[in-house]
């Protein structure tokens, strides 16, 4: 602790200086031109720095050169890439310690012989490292050109990471090569002594970070040591799980277990999943930093690095207030926005007049309580609601009076009205920051969708719309905006504001970058091509812009999800929630424990995109994928040697790449005994509860579609026969070690004829299903009630090998297969022994990037009635970030739309999870 306190000022000073230099030069440049990376770097490096951290600079540069020097060797560059931002900045002295501490993992794995001294030493180191991380972060922010340059150099990699999972691949290779690494160590040390940060040092660093993470967790006491619980499924230190507490907008707490090194987006997705929220781009997770300031959790960075010493305590909040909430697609999104605004209003963050307080309050009552009921709603019960910061009896009376006038309004309509009024408020969506103007007068900076607003006292004294702003930057505790010259003016002017401290300056800068990108740009900015924000850290908004999220939202095609409102929460929780909730909590633990890949995948922003085929960016994804195909080859080699035992899964993945049938084994697995614990089963039930609901609730909507057109010629539709379509969904997700996964992804997206493999695979599987599943018969029953039967088959084929391999520190491939079958009730009643006469059969395969849809249509003649069965097999290839349940719900919905005259009799979810332990 002392170390930290003592050295922090130093750490801060150093980057500031350099950034000042950078800034000075920057200021001279023309506004629209991105700073030349090289310009400030020399100055930054040349800056005399007495603090020990000054070695970061030369080190960086050296590393940079180093990385440039050997771009052809994928494993080293991977290390570099993975370490971006942090260890790059680590001074050699720290690295040296680090390489000495490389043995630590072993020490800690056998705690008995770890001397106390070492422990404290390690803790200190860890502390330092934290600082370093911080320093690095700030430096990144402050030495923009340098950062930019680095970015450009690392460009293909880092950008790639943003769009494609493929880039992660080399990083894994490093892990695969854990044994190799140790041999390299000696060299490393030498390299570090020469202050040449060899890229090989980065993996070492990583390892150390892992250790420190471990330590911290122990100190924090929040860590859940799971090795005893799930020993066969997990690998020692891999399983560092932390419980995050997320305060949701309705005030409830959502405990979520994440892998210690998970990135922000992993947690965010978990929360969105919990909330059943699809239009998630407007939201974010926030946390309070040490100074009790609210910060946004960066989805692309590790949570641990962002919260630093703070609690793992987060709040789910609206980050970008949509200027026109009526354009949101789903009611649930609007509901969440309402919850946020109710908070904003009652806390005074969103000021409004008495009349507006009353009006908004009345819509809240209508949404929460329904029509005004004089019996139930007296003023005393109204007092439970907080409508305004200072709530008077008069206000409550007014609220009730207005509430009476909303009779007949549904909760969703009331929400819409609430938002229509709230959005007009002048402070709607304005994120305020305390600052001083150039004369030291207290003002407020308000960042909003349209630009930057300046308030003094309660007056808006200035406004800078985004188009007026050429550049935003920060230096030390100052925040600057460069203004486009007006019609009559010749030169742009720079306006500076003084923030309370450096962090505040950076925070407002970040918020500006994000708001500008989200609301003004159509696509997120590519950091290297930056025209607008040339100065500052390499931080860029990484999510979707409003334009993109709107586009994506138009494709949302699920039945309106059911959601509980706050007032009804108590009741509904006791009805359906309780068992599920407890199980799902446990399930998260299991999930993250058993599938570290999911936590791992949380690291990769690209996966979000790949999981969402609606995003226009998905297309781009294929590009980096292609690029990495070559890289996948070396990646596979170590893997093969590492998993001799795990032959079948190995074979499988290899076969898959080669386009051969890979599903046969799964079919067999389906017949295997249920050998998982009850918990697993329940957990899975919990995770698919949503899906079930949508399956049950979604009414078929007759809508002409491509598929229907294709089918119009078929006898079944021609006869208007009420046949049952047997719909099978197969969701296959692969949790491979990243190296292999990305290799696979690449082959899928780039292989010339993947369709072939998909068809083969699915038809093979289709046979199995046809054999084992009774045919759908009840023809004349309209929309029969559907009864779901569920079978979960989980085969932990490689559990044994896994433990064994764990000791060797090689990647483990763990395959998990789950099959859930939903069937229509009447299936059982009908004799499926009755053979029909096969009239026609056709198989249609269609593909998109990560899904392969195979439709198998068979028409049979049985007892004078013709029956058409359509089996759709959808193979979704991806990683944990895919929302399987949603994908399935979507698939079911689509199927229903495509065949409105048929009913879904069976849904088989077959989920295959393959994991490789990601050891570090």
Partner 1 sequence: MQADFGRFTHAVMRAAPDSLAAQALRSGPAELQVDIEAVRREEEQYVSVLEKTLGLRVVRLEADEELPDCVFVEDPAVVCGNTALITRPGAPSRRKEVGEVMFAKPVDATPVTATLDAGTPVVATPFFVGLSKRTNRRGAEILADTFQDYAVSTVPVLDTLHLKSFCSMAGPGLIAIGSSEAAQKALKTMQQMSDHKYDKLTVPDDLAANCIYMNLPDKGHVLIHCTPEQFPESAKVFEKLKDHMLIPVPNDEKRKVDGCLTCCSVLINKPSKV
Query: Rule CB under 8 A: which residues touch partner 1?
Result: 351-356, 424-427, 450, 453, 457-463, 465, 468, 486
Q: Which is nearer to partner 1, 384 or 457 (CB)?
A: 457
Taking the complex as a whole, how short is the minimal distance between the CB of residue 425 and partner 1, in angstroms? Answer: 5
424 or 531: CB nearest partner 1: 424
Comparing CB distances to partner 1, the nearer of 462 and 526 is: 462
* Burial letters 91-123, b for 16+ CB under 10 A, else e: bbbbbebbbebbebbebbeeeeeeeeeebeebb
Cβ of 68: how many Cβ atoms within 10 Å?
Answer: 11
**CA dihedral of 393, 395, 396, 400, whole degrees rounded to 10:** 140
Q: What are phi and psi of 17, to 5 degrees?
A: -55, -50
Q: How far is the CB of 279 from partner 1 (least distance, A)?
A: 24
Beta strands in 457-507, from DSSP E residues, in sequence order:
459-465, 469-475, 478-483, 493-498
Q: Closer CB to partner 1, residue 312 or residue 418? A: 418
Nearer to partner 1, 327 or 353 (CB): 353
CB of 54 to partner 1, least distance (A): 44
Q: Could you identify the residue written with the tokens 């045919």?
A: 775
Closer to partner 1 at the Cβ: 353 or 438?
353
Q: 253-259 and 837-847 as β-strands: parallel, antiparallel, unpaired?
A: unpaired
Given a contact cutoff of 8 angstroms between Cβ atoms, the answer to whether 480 and 473 are in contact is yes
451: left (phi over 0), alpha (psi -120 to 50) or beta: left
Shorter beta-carbon distance to partner 1: residue 427 or 686: 427
- The least CB distance from residue 384 to partner 1, in Å, is 24
Residue 531 C-alpha from the chain's centroid: 27
CB pairs under 8 A, 24+ apart, for 516-519? 516/466, 516/469, 516/472, 516/541, 517/541, 517/545, 518/281, 518/320, 518/449, 518/543, 518/545, 518/546, 519/320, 519/323, 519/449, 519/450, 519/466, 519/545, 519/546
Q: Measured from the CB atom, is 288 or 460 closer to partner 1?
A: 460
* Closest approach of partner 1 to the CB of residue 428, in Å: 10
CB of 19 to partner 1, least distance (A): 30
Longest dimension (CA), the chain: 93
Q: How far is the CB of 566 from partner 1 (least distance, A)?
A: 25
Pairing state between β 906-916 and 731-732: parallel
Q: Which is nearer to partner 1, 255 or 348 (CB)?
A: 348
In the complex, what is the shortest distance from the CB of residue 393 to partner 1, in angstroms, rounded to a whole number?
Answer: 16
| φ/ψ bin of 858: left (φ > 0), alpha (ψ from -120 to 50), beta (otherwise) | beta
- For residue 517, the minimal CB distance to partner 1 (Å) is 20
Structure tokens that stand for 552 in this block = 């994506």
CB of 355 to partner 1, least distance (A): 5
Would you call 904 helix, strand, or coil by DSSP? strand
User: Looking at beta carbons only, is 426 or 522 nearer to partner 1?
Assistant: 426
Shortest Å distance, C-beta 319 to partner 1: 20
Distance of alpha carbon 345 from alpha carbon 349, whole angstroms: 6
β partners of residue 447: 431, 452
Q: How far is the CB of 545 from partner 1 (least distance, A)?
A: 20
Pick the closer one to partner 1 by CB: 461 or 674.
461
Q: Which residue in 176, 173, 147, 16 sits closest to 84, CA to CA?
A: 147
CB of 795 to partner 1, least distance (A): 59
Min. distance of Cβ 350 from partner 1 in angstroms? Answer: 9
Nearest to 170 by CA among 637, 669, 584, 654: 637
Query: What is the total residue count of the chain?
Result: 920
Query: Which residues are CB-neighbours of 489 under 8 A, at least 6 positions away?
Result: none
Q: Is 793 helix (H, G, I), strand (E, B) or coil?
A: coil
Q: Which C-beta is closer to partner 1: that of 284 or that of 446?
A: 446
How far from each other are the two terminal CA atoms of the chain, in whole angstroms? 26
Provide, rounded to whole angstroms, the least separation between the CB of residue 351 and partner 1: 4
Nearer to partner 1, 373 or 394 (CB): 394
Instruction: Tell me 263's DSSP state.
Output: B
Nearer to partner 1, 448 or 806 (CB): 448
- In three-state secondary structure terms, 753 is coil
Nearer to partner 1, 145 or 396 (CB): 396
How far apart are the C-alpha atoms of 277 and 552, rounded to whole Å? 13
Contact yes or no for 351/427 (Cβ under 8 A): yes
Residue bearing tokens 């332990």: 917
- CB closer to partner 1, 465 vs 633: 465
**667, two tokens:** 């079919």
Spatial distance between the Cα atoms of 98 and 92, rounded to a whole number of angstroms: 9
Q: Is the Cβ of residue 428 or residue 822 nearer to partner 1 in the bound state? A: 428
As measured in angstroms, the least distance from the Cβ of 340 to partner 1 is 18
Which residue in 5, 13, 158, 28 sits closest to 526, CA to CA? Answer: 158
* Collapsed DSSP state (helix, strand, coil) of residue 495: strand
In the complex, minimum distance from the CB of residue 390 to partner 1, in angstroms, rounded to a whole number = 13
Indicate the residue among 354 and 562 with the shorter CB distance to partner 1. 354
In angstroms, give the least distance from the CB of 202 to partner 1.
Answer: 48
Strand runs labelled E in 468-569: 469-475, 478-483, 493-498
Which 3 state secondary structure label does DSSP give 834?
coil
Question: What gap in Å lies between CA 888 and CA 243, rounded to an integer?
Answer: 28
Which residue(s) pair with 483 in the sheet?
A: 469, 493
* Tokens 């990647």 sit on residue: 811
Q: Taking Cα atoms as reference points, which of 508, 538, 473, 537 lies closest to residue 142?
A: 537
């Amino acid at each position: 602790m002392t170390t930290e306190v003592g050295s922090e000022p130093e750490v801060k000073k150093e980057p500031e200086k350099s950034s000042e230099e950078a800034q000075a030069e920057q200021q001279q440049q023309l506004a629209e031109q991105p700073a030349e990376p090289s310009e400030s770097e020399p100055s930054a490096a040349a800056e005399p720095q007495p603090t020990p951290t000054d070695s970061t600079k030369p080190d960086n540069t050296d590393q940079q050169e180093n990385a440039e020097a050997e771009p052809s060797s994928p494993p080293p560059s991977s290390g570099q890439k993975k370490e971006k931002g942090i260890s790059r900045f680590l001074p050699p002295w720290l690295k040296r310690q680090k390489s000495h501490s490389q043995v630590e993992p072993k020490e800690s794995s056998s705690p008995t012989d770890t001397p106390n001294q070492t422990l404290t030493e390690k803790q200190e180191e860890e502390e330092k490292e934290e600082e370093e991380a911080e320093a690095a972060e700030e430096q990144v922010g402050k030495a923009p050109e340098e950062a930019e340059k680095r970015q450009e150099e690392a460009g293909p990699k880092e950008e790639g990471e943003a769009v494609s999972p493929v880039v992660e691949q080399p990083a894994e290779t490093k892990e695969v090569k854990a044994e190799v690494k140790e041999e390299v160590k000696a060299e490393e040390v030498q390299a570090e002594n020469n202050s040449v940060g060899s890229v090989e040092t980065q993996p070492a660093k990583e390892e150390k970070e892992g250790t420190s993470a471990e330590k911290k967790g122990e100190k924090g006491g929040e860590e859940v040591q799971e090795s005893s619980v799930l020993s066969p499924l997990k690998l020692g230190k891999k399983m560092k799980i932390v419980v995050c507490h997320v305060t949701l907008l309705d005030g409830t707490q959502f405990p979520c277990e994440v892998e210690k090194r998970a990135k922000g987006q992993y947690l965010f997705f978990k929360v969105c999943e919990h909330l059943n929220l699809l239009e998630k781009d407007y939201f974010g997770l926030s946390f309070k930093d040490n100074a009790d300031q609210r910060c946004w959790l960066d989805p692309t960075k590790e949570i641990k690095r962002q919260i630093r010493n703070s609690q793992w305590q987060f709040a789910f909040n609206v980050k970008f207030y949509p200027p026109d909430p009526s354009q949101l697609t789903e009611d649930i999104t609007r509901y969440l926005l309402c919850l946020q605004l109710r908070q904003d209003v009652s806390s005074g963050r969103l000021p409004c007049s008495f009349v507006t307080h009353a009006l908004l309050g009345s819509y809240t009552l209508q949404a929460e309580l329904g029509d005004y009921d004089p019996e139930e709603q007296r003023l005393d019960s109204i007092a439970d609601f907080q409508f305004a910061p200072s709530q008077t009896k008069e206000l409550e009376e007014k609220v009730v009076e207005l509430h009476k006038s909303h009779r007949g309004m549904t909760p969703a309509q009331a929400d819409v009205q609430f938002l229509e009024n709230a959005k007009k408020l002048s402070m709607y969506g304005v994120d305020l920051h305390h600052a001083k103007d150039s004369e030291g007068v207290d003002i407020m900076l308000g960042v909003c969708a349209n630009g930057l607003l300046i308030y003094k006292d309660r007056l808006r004294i200035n406004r800078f719309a985004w188009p007026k702003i050429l550049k935003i930057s920060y230096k030390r505790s100052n925040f600057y905006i460069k203004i486009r010259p007006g019609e009559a003016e010749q030169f742009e002017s720079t306006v500076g504001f003084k923030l309370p401290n450096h962090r505040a300056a950076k925070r407002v800068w970040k918020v500006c970058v994000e708001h500008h990108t989200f609301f003004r740009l159509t696509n997120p900015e590519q950091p290297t091509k930056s025209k607008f924000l040339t100065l500052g850290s390499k931080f860029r908004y990484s999510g979707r812009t409003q334009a993109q999220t709107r586009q994506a939202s138009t494709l949302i095609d699920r039945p309106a999800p059911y959601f509980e409102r706050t007032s009804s929460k108590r009741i509904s929780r006791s009805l359906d929630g309780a068992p599920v909730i407890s199980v799902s909590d446990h399930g998260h633990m299991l999930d993250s424990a058993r599938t570290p890949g999911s936590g791992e995948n949380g690291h990769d922003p690209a996966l979000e995109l790949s999981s969402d085929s609606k995003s226009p960016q998905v297309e781009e994804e294929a590009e980096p994928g292609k690029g990495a195909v070559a890289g996948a080859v070396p990646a596979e080699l170590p893997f093969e040697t590492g998993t001799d035992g795990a032959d079948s899964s190995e074979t499988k993945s290899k076969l898959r790449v080669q386009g051969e049938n890979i599903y046969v084994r799964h079919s067999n697995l389906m017949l295997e005994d249920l050998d998982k614990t009850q918990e697993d089963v329940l957990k899975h039930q919990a995770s698919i509860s949503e899906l079930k609901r949508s399956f049950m609730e979604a009414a078929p909507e007759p809508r002409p579609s491509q598929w229907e057109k294709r089918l119009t010629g078929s006898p079944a539709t021609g006869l208007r026969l009420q046949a049952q379509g047997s719909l099978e969904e197969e969701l296959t997700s692969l949790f491979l070690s990243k190296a292999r996964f990305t290799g696979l992804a690449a082959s899928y997206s780039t292989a010339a004829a993947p369709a072939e493999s998909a068809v083969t695979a699915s038809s093979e599987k289709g046979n199995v299903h046809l054999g084992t599943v009774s045919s759908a018969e009840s023809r004349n029953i309209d929309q029969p009630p559907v009864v779901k039967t569920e079978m979960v088959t989980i085969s932990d084929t490689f559990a044994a090998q896994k433990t064994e391999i764990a000791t060797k520190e090689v990647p483990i491939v763990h395959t998990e297969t789950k099959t859930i079958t939903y069937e229509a009730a009447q299936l059982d009643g009908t004799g499926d022994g009755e053979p029909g006469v096969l009239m026609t059969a056709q198989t249609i395969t269609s593909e998109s990037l990560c899904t392969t849809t195979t439709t198998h249509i068979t028409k049979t003649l049985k007892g004078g009635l013709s029956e058409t069965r359509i089996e759709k097999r959808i193979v979704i290839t991806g990683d944990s970030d895919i929302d399987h349940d949603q994908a399935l719900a979507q698939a079911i919905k689509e199927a229903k739309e495509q065949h409105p005259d048929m009913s879904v009799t069976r849904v088989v979810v077959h989920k295959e999870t393959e994991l490789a332990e990601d050891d570090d």
